[in-house]
Amino acid sequence: MGEPNFPRLEAEVLEFWKKQGIFEKSDRKPAPRGKFVFYEGPPTANGQPAMHHVLARSFKDLFPRYKTMQGFHVTRKGGWDTHGLPVEIAVEKRLGVLGRKALSREEIAEFNATCKKYVFENIQDWNYFTERLGFWVDLDSAYITYTNEYIESVWNLLKRLWDKGLITQDYKVVPLSPRISTTLSQNEIADGYREVDDPSVYVRFPLKLETTPKAVRQRLNAQGVRLEDLENLAILVWTTTPWTLPSNTMAAVNPQMDYALVRSPSAGHLIFAMEAVERLKELHEEELEVLAQLKGADMEWWEYTPPFPEVCVELGVVKEQGERRENGRPVMHFVALADFVSAEDGSGVAHEAPVYGAEDLELSRKYGTPLLFGTDEYGVMRVTGERGKFFKDADKGLIRAMKERGVMYHAGTIRHRYPFHDRTGDPILYFAKPSWYIKTSLFREQLYARNEEINWVPEHIKYGRFGNWLKDNVDWAISRERYWGTPLPFWVAEDGSEKVCVGSVRELSELAGRDLSDLDLHRPYVDDITFVKDGKIFRRVPEVLDVWFDSGAMPYAQWHLMLDENGRPLPGTEANYELFEQHFNADFICEAIDQTRGWFYSLHAIATLLYDRPAFKNVICLGHLVDEKGQKMSKSKGNVVEPLPAFDKYGADAVRWYMFTASEPGDTKRFSERLVAEAMRGFLGTLWNVYSFFVLYANLDRPNLKERPPVEERPEIDRWLYSRTQQLVQEVSEALERYDARGGARALEEFVEELSNWYVRRNRRRFWKNDDAADREAAYATLWEALVAVSQLCAPFTPFVAEALWQNLVRSVDENAPESVHLSQWPQAQAMDQSLLKSMHAALEVVRLARAARARSGVKTRIPLPLMLVTAPTAEERAGLQHFASEIADELNVKELRVLGPEEEVLSYRVLPNLPVLGKKYGKKVPAIRQLLAELDGKYVAQTLKAKQALHLEIEGETITLTPDELLLEALSPAGYEALEERGYMAALEVRVDDELFLEGLARELIRLVQQARKDMGLQVSDRIHLSYQAEGKYAEALRKFGSRLQEETLALSLSEAPITGFETGLEDEEGRVRFGLSKA
C-alpha cells in the first residue's frame, strides 16, 4: 500500500491476467445475453503505434469490457490492414525505387515480397503496446488482408457485385507523374504544391451564327441588338493550360450567371461574364462597350469553332468537323452549362478538356461528348505542330499558333499554386485513365436510408459529414495501378470483347484447367494465369484493388466467407458462413473522423449494396489528437508524444482516463503530458487515497465484510452513501448505454470526489477509534460496498486499478467471488432514497456557503462558534438540513445549528419570479412583474404565501395571481451574522468567541501538536503513550479544562504536569507557552 505507483501496479495486474488467462476466461464465460458484435478497424502494422492509437483503442476496449461484464459475449478478433500505399512508399524508399514505372515480373515479385516482409516489421511493438494499454483483443486470430483466404473472400464479394452488374469500366481523371506515368494519390501530391507562373490566356472561340439558340435571339431582339450586325462574334474562353486547348470539346458557362455581349475595338464582338467586364477592360487596356446582356442558360448548345479544329479529325474521333449526332445535336464544340463555373478569375467561360480535368470529364459524360487525347499518358503532345513535345513545353508554340490564327485575345501570365511530383520534379498531369468502378451512385437512396439506422457519436456526423457524402455519392473507383494489393479478379479477352470476374480460387482453377490452390494470389503470380474460353485468350487486368475495399470487406473476409451465385456457402465453408451470420452486423465500431470516407464508408457501401443493411449500428467517431499548441502531431515537427513513456510514467489507466474525459470524443483534443498527470492525480489519486484509507484501518479492525449489517440499520450518512452509490451505478450504466464514455467517466469522477471529500472526511473517526462495534461495522460495510462498486464501474475505463481494488477488496474477503473484476457481473442499481439524496445535496450546498462565511469571519475553524443559521428553498430540503444538522455543525465546528423556515422572524426574503414558469405564462408582462416583486417586502410575501397560498398583484390595471410555484423565495442574510446566500440556500454564522470557546480551540491546537509528535516519533496509530507537560498562560488553562479530551484523542494513558521526559514538542505564542514530553506506554 502507501503511495500509489500505477505503472508498477499495472505490471502486476498484467502478470496476473496472463498467468490466470483472464482474457481467455472472459471469452469463455457464459453469455446469457447473447452476442455483442465489435469490429476491429485494422491498423497497418508497419507504422509505429502512436498516441492516437491509444485514443481509438481505449474506446474500442471500453465497450466490449462493459458488455462482457453485462453478460454478453464479445468476439474480439483483431485485424491488420496490410496492403496499399503506406507500405509501398516505405518499401520504395527502402529499395530506392523511383516511382513504379513498368516493373518487370521479377521486380514486381521482389517488390511485393519486400512489402510482405515489412508489413509486420513493427508487429512486436504493436503487440507490446496493445497489451500494455490493456486493450483486450485477440491478435492470434487476427485477420490479415494479404492472406489468400482474405483475398479470395474479397474476390467473392466482387463477383457478387459483378453478377449484379454493378462493376463497370470508365475513365477517371487521376493525377499522374508524367514521364513515368505513375498514378499518384492525393496524399502524394499534397506536399508538392509550388507557387509558379503559368500562362493565362483568353481565347476567342468564334460562334456559328446559324446555330444561335432561340433564347439568345429573343433576348438580343428584346434589347434591340441584331445578331446579323455582330461581326466576328466569339465567346471568350479562359485557361491557364494552353496545352489542353487542342483537346477542347466544350465551352462551359454558369447557367445562373449574367453574360455580357460587348464590342471590342480590337477583336470585334465578344461574350463573357458581366462580372469580368471591368477586369478585362483593365487587363487588355481597351474600352469595351456592353451591347446586351445574356443569361448563361440561354446559350446552351451554341456551336463554335475551336482554336484547333483539325484535331478531332486527326485523332479519328469524328470524320469531319462539325459532325452531328443522330438527334441533330453537335458531337462537340458547343456551349455547355455547368454550376461549377465562376467568374472570380478569367472570363467566366471555362474551357473544357475532359481528358485533363475531373469536372470536365463529369460534364462530358452529361453531354455525351467524346474524349480528345491531345497527349499520351507520358505527357507528350500527339497533335498540332507541337507534336512530340512535353506538355508544359508546348504552351509557347500553341500561343504563337493561336495568335497566327487570330483567335488569341489576350495572353498573359498568372501566379498560382500548382502541384509537382516531388521525386521527379515534374508538374502533375491530370489525365483520364480507364478505371474500374462500383456503381454505388445507383444506391444513393439506400445508402442514405441505411444510414438512418446508425447511431452516430457525435450526432452531427450522421447528416453532416457522412450524410452529405452519401447524398452526393459518386461511383466508387476501385482500381489502382499499383503492385501491393488485392489483384482485381477480372480477366479480359484479348480482343476486349468479353470480361470474366472470378469469384474463387476453385473457379480460377477450373478456367485455367489446373489446380491453383497453392497459388499466391498476389502479383505477379496471378498475372501468369491465363485461360482460353470461347477460343479467346483471357488475361487478368493489371490493376489492384483500392485498399479501402479490403478493409470494408472485413465483416465477410475475416471469416473467409465464400458464397455461390445463390448466396449459399461454398462446400466446405459452411462453418465460415455460420460465423459470419453470428457477427453481422456490428453493434459497435470506433475510429477517428478521417474514416468517414474511408472505412466507415467502405463498410457501409458494401453492406448496403449486398445486404441492404448497415454494417454497424453504433459508431464513435473520434476527433484528432493534436499537440499542446493545437498543431498536428508529426514526426517532422518533432511534437509527437510517444505512448510508452507516458505509460511508464503515469500508467496506462491515467492515459486512458485522459482520453475518456479530456473532451467530447468527437472533438479535437489538445494532448499534453501535463493533462495526463492531472488525470492521474485527480481521479486515480483520489480513488487510491480512499482505498488506502480503507485498507489501513480495515487491516487493524478486521471488520467482517462477508456478513455486513443490513443497510436500513445503518446510520443516515451510510444510507446516504448507499443511495448515492446506487445513483452512480445508474448514471454510469445509462451513460454507457448511450455510448457516452465521457458522461460515465464524469459521473465516476464526481462520485469519487464526494466519497473522499465528504463521506470519508466526515466519517474518519468512525474508522479509527470506534468502540461502537455496530457503527464501526456499518461504516466499513458502507465504504467497502462503495469501493467495490467503483471498482466494477471503472473496470471498463481503467481496467488495471479496478483489478487491483477488486483483488484486495473482494477476493481477499471471499475466495468464491469472481476471479477478476472483469469476470464479475456488472452491478444493478438498487432502489435509492431520493429524499435522502436531496437532503444531502442541500447540506452540501449549505456547507459550501458556510465555509465561505467562515473564511470571511477570520475565525479559524479550530475555534468553535456558538451558532449557525441555515435554510434552503424548499421544505423538503430544510427537513434534510435538520437531518444532517450534526454533520454540518461538526464540519464547521459550531456548537448549535438552527434551520430556519420562511416564517422565521430573524430572516427576511427576496422574492424572485420563477422565470421558466412565469415567462411562458405572462410573456411581455415579465419585466413589470419583476419590477413589482423587487419592491415587495419579502417577509410579507413569505407569510402571505404561507397563509393564502397565492399572491395578488396589480399590473397595468389588471390583477394577476401568482401561486407559490411561480415564485422563488431567497433568504437574505440576517444582520449581525457572517452570512452568505445563494439561490435560496443560506448559511449564517454567529461570530462570538467567548473565553470557553477560545480555550476549546486552543485545546484542539494542542491535540494537533501531540498528534504530530506521535507521528514524528513513528508510533503506530494504535500505540498508547504517557504525556508529561509544562504550560503557562492560556495553554495552561486550556489543559486544565480540556486535558481529558486531549488524553482521549491522543491515546494518552496519563497526563501529568511534570518534568518533560521522552520525545519533546511544544509551542509558544502570545497566548502562552507549552511543552510536552511523550513516551510510548
Partner RNA sequence: GGGCGGUUAGCUCAGCUGGUUAGAGCACACGCCUGAUAAGCGUGAGGUCGGUGGUUCGAGUCCACUACCGCCCA
Site residues (CB under 7 A) for RNA, limited to 349-368: 358-359
- What's the CA dihedral at 681, 682, 688, 692 to 10 degrees? 90
Give the nearer residue to RNA in terms of CB position, either 526 or 967: 967
Q: Which is nearer to RNA, 79 or 913 (CB)?
A: 913
Q: Could you count the other beta carbons within 10 Å of the beta carbon of residue 534?
A: 8
Among residues 111, 146, 476, 693, which is the contact residue for RNA, using CB under 7 A? 693
627 binds RNA (CB under 7 A): no
Binding of RNA by 50 (CB under 7 A): no
Nearest distance from C-beta of residue 914 to RNA, angstroms: 5
According to the binding rule CB under 7 A, does residue 71 interact with RNA? no
- Distance CA(268)–CA(248), nearest Å, equals 23
Least distance from C-beta 780 to RNA, angstroms? 14
Does residue 42 have an active-site annotation?
Answer: yes
Told to judge if 595 belongs to the known catalytic residues of this protein, a careful annotator would answer yes
- Catalytic one among 558, 595, 726, 807? 595
Please report how close the Cβ of residue 743 comes to RNA at its closest, in angstroms: 9
Q: To which residue does cell 469571519 refer?
A: 857
Q: Which stretch binds RNA (CB under 7 A): 41-49, 240-248, 421-429, 756-764?
A: 756-764
CB nearer to RNA: pick between 419 and 524: 419
- State the Cα–Cα distance between residues 356 and 471, nearest whole angstrom: 26
From candidates 11, 626, 644, 1036, binder to RNA by CB under 7 A:
626
Q: What are phi and psi of 837, to 5 degrees?
A: -65, -40
- Judged by CB under 7 A, the number of residues near RNA is 83
Question: Which residues in the 911-950 window bind RNA by CB under 7 A?
Answer: 912-916, 919-920, 923-924, 926-927
Position 780: which residue type?
Y
Instruction: Using alpha carbons, list the distances in angstroms from residue 594 to 90, 446, 591.
Output: 21, 23, 8
548 labelled catalytic: yes
Binding mask 434-473 for RNA (x = CB under 7 A): --------------------------xx--xx--x-----
Nearest approach, Cβ of residue 270 and RNA (Å): 25
What is the grid cell recorded at 703?
A: 471488520
Closer residue to RNA (CB): 514 or 632: 632
Tell me if 494 contacts RNA by CB under 7 A. Answer: no
Q: Which of 757, 886, 949, 1056 binds RNA (CB under 7 A)?
A: 757
**Residue 852, φ and ψ in degrees, nearest 5:** -65, -40
Point out the catalytic residue in the list 155, 559, 599, 784.
Answer: 599
Q: Does 416 bind RNA (CB under 7 A)?
A: no
The answer to whether the beta carbons of residues 900 and 924 sit under 8 Å apart is no
| Phi, psi (degrees; rounded to nearest 5) at 913 | -75, 140
C-alpha cell at 615: 454494417
| Nearest CA-CA partner of 281 in 253, 299, 260 | 260
> What are the grid coordinates assigned to 324, written together?
452531328
Binding residue (CB under 7 A) for RNA from 1051, 1055, 1074, 1078: 1051
Which residue lies nearer to RNA by CB, 262 or 621? 621
| Alpha-carbon span 94 to 90, nearest angstrom | 6
Q: For RNA, give the closer residue by CB, 331 or 760.
A: 760
Shortest distance in whole angstroms from residue 853 CB to RNA: 9
Distance CA 799, CA 788 (A): 13
Span interacting with RNA, options 95-103, 364-372, 788-796, 910-918, rule CB under 7 A: 910-918
Query: Distance (Å, rounded) from C-alpha 690 to C-alpha 476?
Result: 56
Q: How far is the first Cα of the chain from the last one, in angstroms, to the nearest whole number?
A: 27
Provide the minimum distance between the beta carbon of 1051 and RNA in the complex, in angstroms, as a whole number. Answer: 4
Task: Return the range that interacts with RNA (CB under 7 A); candidates 94-102, 381-389, 493-501, 751-759.
Answer: 751-759
- Asked whether the beta carbons of 651 and 6 are under 8 A apart, the reply is yes
Compare residues 149 and 740 and give the one whose CB is closer to RNA: 740
Residue 828 is placed in which grid cell? 444493478
Whole-number minimum distance, CB 241 to RNA, in Å? 15
| Residue choice 851, 1041, 1045, 1080 for contact with RNA (CB under 7 A) | 851
The 852-891 site mask, x for binding RNA (CB under 7 A), equals: x--xx---xxx-----------------------------
Query: What grid cell was written down for 748?
Result: 465516476
Say which DSSP state 1060 is in: -
CA distances (Å), 668 to each of 619, 659, 738, in order? 17, 11, 21
Residues 250-289 that bind RNA (CB under 7 A): none
Closest separation in Å from C-beta 333 to RNA: 24
Q: Give the bridge partners for 1079, in sequence order.
A: 1026
Smallest distance from RNA to CB 714, Å: 19
Q: Interface with RNA by CB under 7 A: which range of 704-712, 809-817, 979-987, 992-1000?
A: 979-987
> Does the protein bind RNA through residue 744 (CB under 7 A)?
no
How far is it, in rounded angstroms, from Cα 242 to Cα 386?
12
DSSP secondary structure of 155-199: HHHHHHHHHTT-EEEEEEEEEEETTTTEE--HHHHHTTEEEEEEE
Q: What is the largest CA-CA distance in the chain?
A: 130
Indicate the residue among 157 and 461 with the shorter CB distance to RNA. 461
Buried b (16+ CB within 10 A) or exposed e, 129-166: bbbbbbbbbebeebbbbbeebbbbbbbbbbbbbbeeeb
Q: What binding mask, one character per residue, do residues 656-685 give for RNA by CB under 7 A, x or -? A: ------xxx-xxxxx---xx--x--xx--x
List of residues 6+ apart from 783 with CB closer than 8 A: 690, 694, 721, 759, 760, 763, 767
Least distance from RNA to the Cβ atom of residue 841, Å: 15
In the window 557-596, what residues touch RNA (CB under 7 A)? 593-594, 596
Q: How far is the CB of 981 from RNA (least distance, A)?
A: 6
Residue entry with cell 507521528:
1015
Q: Which of residues 172-191 bind RNA (CB under 7 A)?
A: 186
- Residue 630 near RNA by CB under 7 A: yes
Catalytic residue among 214, 635, 706, 920: 635
Coil, strand or helix at 541: coil
Determine which one of 4, 7, 17, 42 is catalytic: 42
The answer to whether 661 and 746 have CB atoms below 8 angstroms apart is yes
Q: Binding to RNA by residue 1018, rule CB under 7 A?
A: no
Binding mask 770-809 for RNA (x = CB under 7 A): ----------------------------------------
Q: Is 101 a catalytic residue?
A: no
Q: Give the residue from 494, 584, 585, 593 showing the smallest Cα distance to 536.
A: 494
Q: Rank residues 203 and 1027 by Cβ distance to RNA and give the closer one.
A: 1027
Q: Find, among 555, 531, 510, 440, the residue nearest to 153 by Cα.
A: 555
Residue 635 annotated among the catalytic residues of the structure: yes
> Closest Cα to residue 716, out of 578, 871, 880?
880
Please state the closest distance from residue 654 (CB atom) to RNA, in A: 13
**Identity of residue 773:** A
Active site residues: 42, 81, 548, 595, 599, 632, 635
